[in-house]
Chain A
């Protein structure tokens, strides 16, 4: 009997139409936990190097974790992975909502999608009934229309759908996957991979239960967790103001990304704040499966020139900043509409906003003309261009066709120095946190296996001061505050431990708003919960080693794709001073930054080029992924051991 996981994984080949169920054993789950661990395992094991991310040889993996769907806060998450069409490397993106728990109730931990359908299809999973169904009539529909049509034709309005809109169909390199119209596997262009396979949606409905080893313990642990969350100020703020609660503070600190990261301040930032949203367009606060935090927003605008439909939820901080301050726009209704359109088309709001800001800077520097932009005056602050450009990107029309390639590729097409305005790491656009005011965020961007990503480790302010937040991570051995802009060995040590801790969450199905230090759930209660759910006698040690394992596997994937230490670097702009805001004149010192990356490699047991050493990979039981040379394993014993794992 398995607990926490179902022990069943669906493998679908869309080329041949075959559907099989695989049953890895408990050792496999204890080693990889699910989520990022499963994705890394299958991508590393089964994809050859150099595969076309938008071709039939790429594989798309949907994976829940061992805690996904357990009825307690912050456990709704699932991970989608593939080789990314945006970065060309390890592709991974997490989402909350209800889809992951539903898949487990249907009896499965994960789905591996292979091949490419001849005509558009969707996958329908209802317990033991798994069908590949025709979706030709759904191709070209927005996510909301397609969801409604599928629920109607199945006669079941309770099915949960992970779906793409036209952005995914048109292979926008940063297309995302949406569930419940408002939760996104946002980054890395995984919606384009789905589009390339002509897979419109994965529709699930389950009637089973997730097996738990000690079910009698869950209500007590849940009660303790809810109490911890309720008492934690950062969690209270998420409920009250949502993620947009960050706008005012970041702006005051001079690190609200503005004018394509030239400035750190928007003078009218209060107009696009979480407070402004709560006082104007907020319809209700929402949340994910069994979660008490309720950080999500639904916004509504029912009259006027622009209307906004609450069924698509509401804009997160990232969306508000990427279309707002980054483009110097302070119209909250317009930003809410931009959010709604991106969810209808299934395109990532961060990369879409960044692509528009990039185009604005190109336009103002004379690299793009009005003629190039289909008559639009693509200047910072011109709110008339935002919605048309989102349309053009999703439909790949005019300048939108170039911007749909992502700013890295768009800059190469435009040339003449446009590369300086494309702010990416590993070809993925920067999220809305300026590392010049919190350098570990920049270290996180540089070292993220998926390209620039703000959710790979806790941000510096969470361990910069003594008090109730720092206290929560004493069990990780982080007991001394490290200043936000310090680039010291203590910074990299704290970052490394927190990145490993966050990677564990991405494996187990835990939302980063749950556990400390970002949320209020103590490390002790996460372990109590994991023990009660799985029945394993486990510890923080074992879980941290699992997190470290997944980081190393993703690293190996990227090395195989040709990434080097030169890809673990920030765009030049972050090494140059901010031009406006309270941190005006502040830059990250590039030499010190490069040195700190080397120190991270050393602490991780990697060589100077960032290649995991043989000792490290063996310690993490990853012998089968060791770049094997004959002299490393003359008698074949390492590989024999690997098979036992």
Chain B
């Protein structure tokens, strides 16, 4: 079960590969929150979740073949 993941900007540090996007083999369906936990992203660090081109939430379920974009929280300035 494969998903395509893109970590943007300051979240790039969580990308375990050198390709962008990268493919991730999921053990089964996961929520976005579970995916973030897997990569040890800090709670509250992600500001915008896009799943298959639509705005997603932490409880959005990720399925085989999905594309997930993760953007950091932007503070302004």
Contacts and interface: CB of A to CB of B under 8 A. Distances in A.
Contact of A467 (B44, B55, B72, B77): B44
B72 A233 contact: yes
Interface in B23-77: 42-45, 47-48, 50, 55, 69, 71-77
B10 interface: yes
Q: Which of B9, B45, B76 has the largest count of A CB atoms less than 10 A from its CB?
A: B76
Interface stretch (A165-173, A458-466, A528-536, A550-558): A458-466
Interface in A515-568: 517-518
Given A249-B8, A249-B47, A468-B44, A234 B55 contact: no
Contacts of A598: none
Contacts of A458: 75-76
Interface string A469-495: 111000000000000000000000000
A469 B10 contact: no
Interface in A220-260: 233-234, 236-238, 240-241, 243, 245-246, 248-250, 252-253
B53 to A, nearest CB: 9
Contact of B43 (A243, A316, A468, A513): A468
A249 B49 CA distance: 10
A393 interface: no
A494 to B, nearest CB: 15
B76 A441 contact: yes
A71 B42 CA distance: 30
A518 B74 CA distance: 9
Contacts of A249: 8-9, 47-48, 71-72, 74
A246 B74 CA distance: 6
Interface residues of B, number: 19
Contacts of B77: 238, 243, 246, 316-317, 454-455, 512-513, 518
Given A467-B44, A468-B43, A461 B73 contact: yes
Nearest to B43: A467
Nearest to B6: A252
Nearest to A481: B44
Nearest to A513: B77
Contacts of A470: 44
Contact of B10 (A233, A461, A465, A582): A233
A252 B44 contact: no
Contacts, number: 92
Contacts of B75: 234, 246, 458-459, 461-462, 517-518
Contacts of B76: 246, 433, 441, 454-455, 458-459, 462, 518
Interface string A385-416: 00000000000000000000000000000000
A331 interface: no
A13 interface: no
Nearest to B13: A236
A252 B8 contact: yes
Contacts of A455: 76-77
Contacts of A243: 77
Nearest to A254: B55
Contact of B74 (A461, A465, A466, A467): A461
Nearest to A468: B44
A467 B37 CA distance: 13
A315 interface: no
B43 A466 contact: yes
A461 B49 CA distance: 13
Given A461-B47, A468-B43, A469-B44, A275 B9 contact: yes
Contacts of A274: 9
Contacts of B44: 465-471
B27 to A, nearest CB: 25
A253 B71 contact: yes
Q: What are the 6 closest A-B residue pairs judged by CB atoms, nearest first? A: A467-B44, A237-B10, A467-B43, A459-B76, A249-B71, A468-B44
Given A237-B72, A458-B75, A469-B73, 8 more contacts: A241-B9, A245-B10, A252-B48, A252-B71, A433-B76, A467-B44, A469-B44, A513-B77
Interface of A: 233-234, 236-238, 240-241, 243, 245-246, 248-250, 252-253, 274-275, 316-317, 433, 441, 454-455, 458-459, 461-462, 465-471, 512-513, 517-518, 582
Interface of B: 8-10, 42-45, 47-48, 50, 55, 69, 71-77
16 contacts: A243-B77, A245-B9, A245-B74, A246-B76, A248-B8, A248-B71, A252-B50, A253-B48, A253-B74, A275-B9, A458-B76, A461-B73, A465-B73, A468-B42, A518-B76, A582-B55
